[in-house]
């Protein structure tokens, strides 16, 4: 089974369209959306409609902290994020907000787990940025492979039973074998707001028969996404960072 | 696998035939399967409680790396899997012998050492081009196929530069084999293909002298000695060793990887063309030198970037460029080729330039190059070629000159490129003419058949005149 996984779309229509079209060429059997469908970007209405449509066709969708903040504003967000969410709340219909609020926190398919931030206290949205964060995450799940988003920088964490957690920054387009003797936490990059210095949208293909995970990048119309952010009157920093991928 | 392995057992369709080898980390069996006619080997690591964890992790590395490798210089991957949580790997059984027995035969002739070294260096280059560093090059891990090519085996300590290095963080001890391990591996740096060159240098040293340059260290402090202390120069042990061979061996054994050959293909090139080796102080050294100065500057350089991904050099940044010079070509074309090469090498600090001219002979055996006249013509062409190169040759250790007599110049260029792992050919194209259209041009055949990038140079203006 081939699973295309998209995380942190953040209302970036151009980035999601480009990465989805690229992924579709690989004919995935399933689609997984790892949350943070909205926030930061200028097309929340489009993004929620698109993801809800995919969910209706069987896509697995889990909730991100920005999705949760539509119903329950968070005090932990920075000013730009809060400003974007305040604006986003006004753009969404009650049905769209309802779709976001009913999303599950995590999903499990066979030995795979999908969760926005981490399997360890997912509702407090911890960031997995170091080996010890991944260690906590591994301790909180029995799944062999867990895929998360939230950090916006791709990193693979892995450990064999009884061994230390190690990490690896995956190279775009290289299929990494998810060795069966290990457990894996894959922190995927972001579709709509990459922060690893590469502006192209990041997504992943998981191949369960070959047992590999491939991080891929889709170049997209950054100027178009920036224009949407500016047209919405959102903070300029949210537009500018897209060009840097940072 | 339940219980002990025994002949006749069937694992996922592979029938165990006979045990092949029992090493410290794994068992190797010959196996049969109905779909394969060529002999196969199955590797099964020891994964019991209390087994060396490097054996388990090393096997995982091999499981990741072997399926991604191809070519004659590695065993062909067939299958991998696991039974009851215990992994196995099936690969081609190499038809040939390892270099291990050769090491006990005492010193070999320099030409033989060089020929063998060039084979292993070519295999290393093929591996490095596939983004893999072996990190455990030693005689028992190099097989010679019956076809003559070197085949590298056992990727348990290897690293694929595009995949997680399962070994680097988990183990705090240097990973390698005592007599052969490079200084940077002793310091737990696992990112430079030139580490394999060091191990090959140790092998060449043993083959040439009959002695191990760093003995057989058993402790970590004994292992570290090679960082501080140069080996006894080979010629001090065996005066029959040619200065060029000592030059090449000691360059492989430089403590600082930056002082070694920029790539295994360049090492192979040096071993194939010993007469063009530029002899430095290394070639004439008869006592150990003082390493402290070089070592200190090297340590400073690796300390600069927090311990990882430092000065490592990939084959892509150390190309071999072949320029074909047709000495009878028009001056404007010769100049254009010269200009192109000048531009090309300006930004390539680690390149090697091979200047080649082909002297066309009518057919094999008719024009003898062994008689006095033939030798004169050869030397005359060599002098002309060097004159053409002019200031291209300012870094003498990076440029070689080759005059080849051949009846088929295009085939000679293509053979040279293939044999020497050339990365890019620069060749001039003469202006269009009726004769060339009739016979076909050398450059167009090189473009069509060369195993690498080809840059075709035209003198300015000619293309439009003749278009």
Specify the pLDDT at position B244. Answer: 97
Is B5 a domain residue? Answer: no
Which of A171, A176, A181 faces B60 most closely, judged by CB atoms? A181
Find, among A219, A150, A158, A155, the residue nearest to A183 by Cα.
A158
Contact assessment for residue B73 and residue B43, using Cβ atoms and an 8 Å cutoff: no
Q: Chain A residues with CB inside 8 Å of B61's CB?
A: none
User: What is the number of alpha carbons within 13 Å of residue B29 lying toward its C-beta?
Assistant: 21
Residue A164, pLDDT > 90, answer no
Specify the pLDDT at position B405. Answer: 86
Structure tokens at A93: 């219909």
Contact assessment for residue B402 and residue B353, using Cβ atoms and an 8 Å cutoff: no
- CA nearest A171 in B: which residue? B162
Which of A156, A158, A180 faces B82 most closely, judged by CB atoms? A180
Per-residue pLDDT tens over the stretch A13-26? 999 999 999 999 99
CB-based contact A164 B166, cutoff 8 Å = no
The residue length of chain B stands at 467
Structural domain boundaries enclosing B240: 96-315
First to last CA, chain A: 33
Specify the pLDDT at position B235. Answer: 96
Segment among A115-129, A229-243, B182-196 with least mean pLDDT: B182-196
Per-residue pLDDT tens over the stretch A184-205? 999 999 999 999 999 999 999 9
Specify the pLDDT at position B307. Answer: 43
Pairing between strand B159-160 and B132-133?
antiparallel
Asked which of B46, B61, B92 is the last residue of a domain, the reply is B92
Domain tally for chain A? 1
Give the span between the Cα atoms of B425 and B63, in whole angstroms: 36
Q: Which secondary structure element, helix H or strand E, spans residue A61, and what is its range?
A: strand A60-61
Considering all CA atoms of chain A, what is the largest pairwise distance in Å, rounded to the nearest integer? 53
Give the span between the Cα atoms of A114 and A147, in whole angstroms: 5
Q: Chain A residues with CB inside 8 Å of B163's CB?
A: 168, 174, 176-177
Specify the pLDDT at position B50. Answer: 64
Per-residue pLDDT tens over the stretch A97-114? 999 999 999 999 999 999
Specify the pLDDT at position B218. Answer: 80
Structure tokens at A225: 């996404």
- The CATH code of the domain that includes B70 is 3.30.200.20
CB-based contact A160 B56, cutoff 8 Å = yes
Q: What would the mean pLDDT of A63-85 be, rounded to a whole number?
A: 92
- Residue B233 is given by DSSP the state P
Residues B327 and B409 in one domain: yes
Q: Chain A residues with CB inside 8 Å of B56's CB?
A: 160, 181
- Residue B401 is given by DSSP the state E
Is B3 a domain residue? Answer: no
Structure tokens at B294: 């070089």
Q: Chain A residues with CB inside 8 Å of B85's CB?
A: 181
For chain A positions 88-117, those within 8 Å of chain B (CB to CB) are none
Task: Give Cα separations from A85 to A11, A89, A152 (angstroms).
Answer: 11, 6, 18
- Residue B76 is given by DSSP the state P
Specify the pLDDT at position A230. Answer: 97
Structure tokens at A156: 């693979």
For chain A positions 23-62, those within 8 Å of chain B (CB to CB) are none
- CA nearest B65 in A: which residue? A177
Give the span between the Cα atoms of B390 and B400, in whole angstroms: 12
Residues B180 and B219 in one domain: yes
Distance from CA of A60 to the nearest CA of B (A): 28
- CA nearest A131 in B: which residue? B169
Residues B310 and B345 in one domain: no
Structure tokens at B380: 């005359």
Is B2 a domain residue? Answer: no
* Complex prediction ipTM: 0.81
Q: What is the DSSP track for B9-33?
A: -EETTEEEEEEEEE-SSEEEEEEE-
CB-based contact B87 A181, cutoff 8 Å = yes
- DSSP lists the bridge partners of residue A212 as A177, A207
Residues B381 and B269 in one domain: no
CA B92 to chain centre: 22
Give the span between the Cα atoms of A65 and A152, in whole angstroms: 13
Residues B111 and B41 in one domain: no
Specify the pLDDT at position B454. Answer: 95
Structure tokens at B166: 């399962």
Tokens 């080898």 belong to B21
Specify the pLDDT at position B396. Answer: 61
Specify the pLDDT at position A73. Answer: 86
Pairing between strand B453-457 and B424-428?
parallel
Residues B421 and B435 in one domain: yes
Tens of pLDDT along chain B (467 residues) come to 445 788 999 988 999 999 988 877 788 999 999 988 889 999 988 776 566 777 888 888 999 999 999 999 999 999 988 877 678 999 999 989 999 999 989 899 999 999 999 999 999 999 999 999 999 999 999 999 999 999 999 999 999 999 998 887 677 778 888 899 999 998 888 899 999 999 999 999 999 999 999 988 888 888 888 887 789 999 999 999 999 999 999 999 999 899 999 999 999 999 999 988 889 999 998 888 666 656 665 666 555 433 444 467 788 888 899 999 998 888 889 999 999 998 888 877 788 899 999 988 776 555 555 566 777 888 888 888 988 998 887 666 688 899 988 888 999 999 999 998 999 999 998 766 655 555 568 888 999 999 999 999 988 764 444 43
Is B417 a domain residue? Answer: yes
Specify the pLDDT at position B398. Answer: 83
Structure tokens at A102: 């009913």
Task: Give Cα separations from B257 to B39, B122, B202, B264, B392 (angstroms).
Answer: 39, 18, 14, 12, 25
Q: Chain A residues with CB inside 8 Å of B168's CB?
A: 166
Residues B80 and B123 in one domain: no
Q: What would the mean pLDDT of A159-166 be, rounded to a whole number?
A: 86
Asked which of B274, B294, B315 is the last residue of a domain, the reply is B315
Q: Chain B residues with CB inside 8 Å of A166's CB?
A: 164, 166, 168-170
Residues B363 and B266 in one domain: no
Structural domain boundaries enclosing A69: 2-244
Asked which of B92, B127, B159 is the last residue of a domain, the reply is B92
- Residue A171 is given by DSSP the state P
Is B281 an interface residue toward A (CB < 8 Å)?
no
Which of A166, A174, A177 faces B170 most closely, judged by CB atoms? A166
Is B1 a domain residue? Answer: no
Q: What share of chain B is helix, strand, coil (3-state, %, to 5)?
A: 40, 20, 40
Structure tokens at A66: 């920005």
Specify the pLDDT at position B438. Answer: 54
| pTM score of the predicted model | 0.83
Residues B286 and B347 in one domain: no
Residues B277 and B392 in one domain: no
Task: Give Cα separations from B46 to B63, B330, B400 (angstroms).
Answer: 14, 68, 49
- The CATH code of the domain that includes A151 is 3.60.21.10
Contact assessment for residue A205 and residue A20, using Cβ atoms and an 8 Å cutoff: no
């Amino acid at each position: 089974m081939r699973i295309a996984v998209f995380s942190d779309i953040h209302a970036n229509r151009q980035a999601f369209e480009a990465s989805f079209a690229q992924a579709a060429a690989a004919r995935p059997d399933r689609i997984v959306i790892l949350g943070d469908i909205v926030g930061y970007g200028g097309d929340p209405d489009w993004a929620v409609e698109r993801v809800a449509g995919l969910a209706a066709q069987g896509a697995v969708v889990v909730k991100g902290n920005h999705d949760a903040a539509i119903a329950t504003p968070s005090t932990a967000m920075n000013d730009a994020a809060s400003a974007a969410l305040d604006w986003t709340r006004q753009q969404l219909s009650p049905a769209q907000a309802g779709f976001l609020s009913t999303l599950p926190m995590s999903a499990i398919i066979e030995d795979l787990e999908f969760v926005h931030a981490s399997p360890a206290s997912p509702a407090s949205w911890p960031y997995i940025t170091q080996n010890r964060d991944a260690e906590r995450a591994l301790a909180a799940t029995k799944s062999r492979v867990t895929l998360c988003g939230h950090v916006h920088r791709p990193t693979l964490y892995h450990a064999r039973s009884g061994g230390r957690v190690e990490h690896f920054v995956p190279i775009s387009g290289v299929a990494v074998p998810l060795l069966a003797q290990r457990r894996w936490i894959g922190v995927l990059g972001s579709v709509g707001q990459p922060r690893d210095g590469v502006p192209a949208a990041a997504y992943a293909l998981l191949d369960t028969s070959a047992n590999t995970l491939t991080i891929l990048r889709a170049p997209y119309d950054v100027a178009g996404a920036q224009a949407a952010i500016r047209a919405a009157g959102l903070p300029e920093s949210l537009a500018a960072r897209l060009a840097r991928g940072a | 696998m339940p219980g002990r392995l025994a002949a006749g057992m069937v694992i996922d369709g592979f029938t165990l035939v006979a045990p092949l080898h029992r090493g410290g980390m794994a068992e190797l069996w010959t196996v049969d399967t109905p779909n394969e006619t060529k002999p196969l080997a199955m590797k099964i690591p020891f994964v019991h409680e209390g087994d060396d964890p490097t054996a388990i992790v090393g096997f995982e590395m091999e499981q990741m790396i072997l399926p991604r490798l191809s070519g004659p210089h590695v065993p062909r991957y067939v299958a991998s899997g696991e039974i009851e949580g215990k992994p196995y790997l099936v690969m081609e059984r190499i038809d040939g012998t390892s270099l291990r027995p050769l090491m006990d035969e005492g010193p070999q002739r320099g030409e033989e050492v060089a020929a063998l070294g060039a084979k292993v260096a070519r295999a290393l280059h093929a591996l490095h081009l596939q983004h893999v560093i072996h990190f455990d090059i030693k005689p028992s891990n190099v097989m010679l196929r019956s076809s003559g090519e070197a085949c590298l085996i056992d990727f348990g300590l290897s690293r694929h530069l595009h995949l997680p290095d399962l070994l680097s963080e988990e183990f705090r001890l240097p990973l390698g084999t005592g007599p052969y391990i490079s200084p940077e591996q002793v310091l737990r740096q696992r990112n430079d293909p030139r580490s394999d060159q060091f191990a090959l240098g140790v092998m060449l040293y043993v083959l040439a002298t009959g002695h191990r340059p760093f003995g057989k260290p058993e402790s970590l402090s004994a292992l570290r000695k090679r960082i501080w202390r140069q080996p006894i120069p080979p010629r001090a042990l065996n005066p029959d060793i040619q200065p060029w061979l000592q030059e090449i061996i000691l360059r492989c054994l430089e403590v600082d990887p930056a002082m070694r050959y920029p790539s295994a293909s360049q090492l192979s090139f040096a071993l194939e063309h010993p007469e063009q080796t530029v002899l430095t102080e290394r070639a004439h050294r008869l006592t150990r030198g003082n390493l402290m100065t070089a070592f200190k500057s090297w340590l400073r350089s690796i300390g600069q970037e927090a311990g990882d991904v430092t000065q490592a050099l990939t084959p892509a940044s150390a190309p071999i460029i072949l320029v074909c010079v047709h000495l009878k070509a028009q001056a404007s074309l010769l100049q254009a080729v010269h200009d192109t090469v000048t531009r090309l090498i300006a930004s390539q600090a680690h390149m090697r330039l091979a200047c080649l001219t082909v002297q066309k002979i009518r057919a094999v055996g008719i024009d003898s190059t062994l008689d006095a006249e033939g030798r004169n013509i050869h030397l005359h062409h060599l002098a002309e070629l060097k004159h053409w190169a002019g200031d291209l040759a300012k870094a003498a250790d990076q440029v070689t000159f080759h005059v080849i007599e051949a009846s088929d110049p295009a085939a000679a260029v293509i053979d040279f490129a293939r044999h020497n792992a050339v990365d890019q050919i620069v060749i001039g194209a003469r202006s269009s003419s009726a004769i060339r259209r009739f016979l076909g041009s050398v450059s167009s055949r090189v473009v069509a058949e060369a195993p690498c990038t080809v840059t075709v140079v035209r003198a300015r203006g000619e293309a439009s005149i003749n278009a």
